[in-house]
Structure 1
Amino acid sequence: MSDPERAMLLSVHPRFATAILAGTKTVEVRRQRVAAPPGTPVLLYATAPTMAIVGMAWIASVQVATPREVWTTSRTSTGISRREYDEYMSGATRASGLSLEGPVSFEVPVPLASLRATGSFHPPQSYRYLTDEDVRKLAAAVPSTGVALHRALGDLASV
């Protein structure tokens, strides 16, 4: 994968993963600048207690601005209250609002134990880009019943 075509692994709390996959949360906010072009595939890793890759979406756009500007633009799409947002953004001078589209739930989530069985795997604190090797390891960790994820990984591997 070349840099503009790489996939992203995004760690989110289970409640946010559920909302993204249901289409009720269409903007994910981050405290740091995210430079990902539209069309970037995003694998959603739901943190504890789920601890699994549960689905994916694609980046429609990224807004990088002050936390106040990101909130003003995206508040109805973030799935969080103003108080939660302010607590999360406390001390940040820049924020990113990742507009997500086309969410797909995986019928068979990939648990952390399966991801680690293929080698050392550490979910990111926030997000990280996946290498070709990461995609190959993910594909190896997926049971054959995970048709949607296998399709997605095949698409990623061919990018």
Structure 2
Amino acid sequence: MNDLDRAMLLSVHPRFATAILAGSKTVEVRRQRVAAPPGTTVLLYATAPTMALVGKARIAAVHVGSPRQVWTAHRVHTGISRREYDEYMSGATQASGVTLEDPVAFDEPVPLNALRAMGAFHPPQSYRYLNSDDLRQMARAGSAAGSALLGVLGDLVPA
């Protein structure tokens, strides 16, 4: 599978999903190395209580470094306080700052129960990659869920 055949499914707290989709949070931080090239589509899964795919964005860049380096480079774009960042990164030796661009909110969020109805769907703790077969299966979930995904994924999900 090449990089053009996959997307990233990213679990985020609802307040961060809202901020990403509003454009006020442009960097998502993770405790591990993110190895996704610029241009990768990111599907945003808002965790409880929302529990739905709420939108998408695209990776502009990934900065991997120590937690201190990532904070220094991206703090004003993370949408979190230094205290929250330090608590999240406690014990981590590596961090990733994933710069997101072109956020698009789905007209209709795709709820977890609709995603599970089409197969064994499990939201990731942090993130996971989806290949074209995963994306095709999600888009063909039927009803509004399938329509929403087909409408935003376009070329990522070949017929």
TM-score of the superposition, structure 1-length normalised?
0.93
Q: Which residue of 1 aligns with 2:85?
A: 85
Contact 2:110/2:145 (CA < 8 Å) preserved in 1? no
Q: Confirm or deny: 8 A CA contact 2:150 2:157 kept in the other structure.
A: no
Match of 2:157 in 1: 157
Shift of 1:11: 0.2
User: Residue by residue, what CA displacement relative to the aligned partner does 1:89-140 show, whole Å, maximum 9, x if unpaired?
Assistant: 0000000000000000000110000000001100000000002221122112
Alignment of 1:10-159 (within 5 A): 10-141=10-141, 143-144=143-144, 149-158=149-158
Moved over 6 A (4+): none
After superposition, the Cα gap between the structure-2 partners of 1:26 and 1:142, relative to the gap in structure 1 and judged at 3 Å, is farther
Identify unmatched segments of 5+ residues in structure 2. Answer: none
Secondary structure of 2:113 counterpart = helix
* Segment of structure 1 superposing worse, 16-25 or 126-135: 126-135
Secondary structure of the structure 2 residue equivalent to 1:7: strand
2:3 corresponding residue in structure 1 = 4
TM-score in terms of structure 2 length: 0.93
8 Å CA contact 1:106, 1:146 repeated in 2: no
Between stretches 130-139 and 38-47, larger displacement belongs to 130-139
Shift of the 67–113 alpha-carbon distance from structure 1 to 2, 3 Å rule, reads: same
Alignment gaps of 5+ in structure 1: none
Distance apart, 1:147 and its partner CA:
5.5
Larger deviation, residues 40-49 vs 126-135: 126-135
